[in-house]
Structure 1
Amino acid sequence: MRELVFALEYESGCNRVADALANHPGARVRSLSLHATAEQLWRVDHATGTPEALDAIEDAFLTSDYYADCLVTEDCGATQTTHILDRMDDTLVLYSDWERTPSCASVPHIARDHLGDGVLFETRHEGRHYTWRLIHSGEGDVAAFFDALEVAVGDCAQMEMLRTTEMTASVGGVDERQNRLSPDQEAALQAAVEHGYYESPREVDVGELAEHLGVPRSTLTYRLRRAEEHLAKQHVAGEKSPEETPATR
């Protein structure tokens, strides 16, 4: 089994969900379940954020031309139904069912074409960044998958490879994933340290650092956040010891 993780960074106006999330920093959408056949795609998504952010996300799913990850920039004629499964002040759960047309394209369907059946999908959407994690058999043509995806995305999004690795079992029986940051995350973190972003007080803010690196502010923020999350999880996992037991009286 192999793992592919990559991110799409949508340009303004190309994806209503991305626009809604970009207008509401801190809001996120992650997939709880995602399945695709040759003609259909259905998924359950869990959104978190302020009530205003959830209103915007709900509207993007219900009233726009956002056809459950369709990458076609114009109306592809697909039929989608979306239902609200749960709604609270800070959470929203949506079910979407999409019947594609010959002109439709999506990450799951392109993956089926080039990586075969049985691909597992996991997504996380925050700001204009849409991160995909795919688990597949390893027998497909990964290069052809990314070539086809790049053509389908066109000018609407920039694609960033985060990692691709073999899935192996560790001693504890847990899948061992790539234990390194992506090159872009590594470069962002190194620049942040070198330019005093983590000093107190900070010697540079994220906007200045982004300008120095020649990347959008949102892109740098995303890379630093993912790098910090990766390092924090590694640290906590390293602190845990299976031999430790709670003290008893």
Structure 2
Amino acid sequence: MRELVFALEYEPGCNRVADALDAHPDARVRSLSLHVTAEHLWRVDHATGTPAALDDIEAAFVDSDYYADCLAAEHCGATQATEVLDHTDDTLVLYSHWERTPACDSVPHIARDHFGDGVLFETRHEGRHYTWRLIHSGDGDAAAFFDDLAVAVGDCARTELLRSTETAPPAGRASDGGGGLPPEQEAALRAAVEHGYYESPREVDVGELAAHLDVPRSTLTYRLRRAEERLAKQHVAKEHVADGRVSTESSTSL
């Protein structure tokens, strides 16, 4: 099995959900379930944020001119429906379904074309960054998949490969990957350290650092957050392994 992780960074006006999330930087949307066949797509999403953010996200999903994950540049004529399963002050759960037409395309459908049935999808949407994690059998041509994806998104989004590797080991087992970060995240993290972003008090803010690196502020924030998340999880996983060894040694000595 292989893991493929990449992100789409949407331009303003190209994706209703990305526009809503960009207006509410603390809001997040992650998939709870995502299924695709040749003609259909179903998904359940969990959003968190302020009441205003959740109202805007709900409107982006429910409006009839938005089809979850459809990459068609214009109205594609699909039959779609979105239902609100739960909406509280800080949580929104949405069910979406659409029936594909010849004009429709999506990341899951393109992935299915190249990797076959049985691909697992996990998504996270923050601001204009839409991160996809695919688990597939290892068959298929990843380069051809990205070529077709680039054609489908056109000028609406930039594609950034984050990771392509064998699937990670189960929790509690050490990884043989050495903790390597994608090059863009590695560069962002190194620059942040070198320019004093992590000093207290900070010697540079994220806007100044983004200007120095000549990248959008939102892009730099996204890369730093993903790098920090990955390193934190690796640190905790290593502690679990160490704790397990200590427990085993203690039991043996008894």
Alignment TM class, shorter chain as reference: over 0.9
- Structure 1 pair 177–71 and aligned structure 2 pair: CA distance change class (3 A): farther
Compute the displacement of 1:242 (Å). Answer: 1.7
Q: Distance in 2 between matches of 1:242 and 1:181?
A: 26
The corresponding residue for 2:49 is 49
Per-residue CA shift, 1:189-239, capped at 9, x if unaligned?
001111111111111111111111111000000000011111111122222
Q: Which amino acid aligns with 1:74?
A: E
The aligned counterpart of 2:251 is: none
What residue is the counterpart of 1:7 in the other structure?
Answer: 7
* 1:121 aligned onto 2:121: yes
Are the aligned partners of 1:78 and 1:104 in contact in 2 as well (CA < 8 Å)? yes
Which amino acid in the other structure matches residue 106 of structure 2? S
Residue 223 of structure 1: aligned partner? 223
SS of 1:73's partner is: coil
**Amino acid of the structure 2 residue aligned with 1:236:** V
Partner of 1:19: 19
What SS class does the counterpart of residue 242 from structure 1 fall into?
A: helix
Letter in 2 for 1:11: E
CA shift at 1:20, angstroms? 0.4
Question: Would you say the 8 A contact 2:7–2:159 is kept in 1?
Answer: yes
Secondary structure of 1:52's aligned partner: helix
Structure 2 residue ranges without an equivalent (≥5): 248-254
* Deviation of the 1:174 alpha carbon: 8.8
Match of 1:81 in 2: 81
Gaps of 5+ in 1: none
Change (3 A) 1:221 1:173: closer
| 3-state secondary structure, aligned to 1:155 | coil
Instruction: Letter of the 1:53 partner, please give it.
Output: A
Contact 2:28–2:125 (Cα < 8 Å) also in 1:
yes
One-letter amino acid of the structure 1 residue matched with residue 183 of structure 2: P
The structural deviation recorded for 1:244 is: 5.6
Residue 192 and residue 168 in structure 1: after superposition, are their counterparts in 2 closer, same or farther (change >3 A)?
Answer: closer
**What is the RMSD computed on CA atoms of the aligned residues?**
1.8
1:72-151 alignment runs, 5 A limit: 72-151=72-151
Match status 1:242 vs 2:238: no
Sort the Cα spacing of 1:47 and 1:176 in 2 relative to 1 into closer, same or farther, 3 A: farther
Contact persistence 2:179–2:231 (CA under 8 A): no
Amino acid aligned to 1:181: L
Question: Could you say which structure has the higher helix fraction?
Answer: 2
Equivalent position amino acid for 2:5 in 1 = V
1:179 to partner: Cα distance: 3.3
Sort the Cα spacing of 1:206 and 1:40 in 2 relative to 1 into closer, same or farther, 3 A: same
How far the C-alpha of 1:17 sits from its partner, in A, is: 0.2
- Which residue is equivalent to 1:155? 155
| Stretch moving more, 94-103 or 200-209 | 200-209
Q: Distance in 2 between matches of 1:179 and 1:142?
A: 23
Equivalenced residues, count? 245
- Percent same amino acid at aligned positions? 77
User: Matched residues in 2 for 1:172 and 1:216: separation?
Assistant: 36
Judged with a 3 Å threshold, the aligned counterparts in structure 2 of structure 1 residues 175 and 77 are, in CA distance, closer, same or farther, namely farther
Checking the alignment, whether the CA contact within 8 Å between 2:174 and 2:238 is kept in structure 1 is: no
CA deviation map 1:4-53 (0-9, x unaligned)? 00000000000000000000111000000000000000000000001100
Alignment of 1:181-200 (within 5 A): 181-200=181-200
1:185 maps to a residue whose letter is Q
Could you tell me whether the CA contact under 8 Å between 1:163 and 1:178 is conserved in 2? no
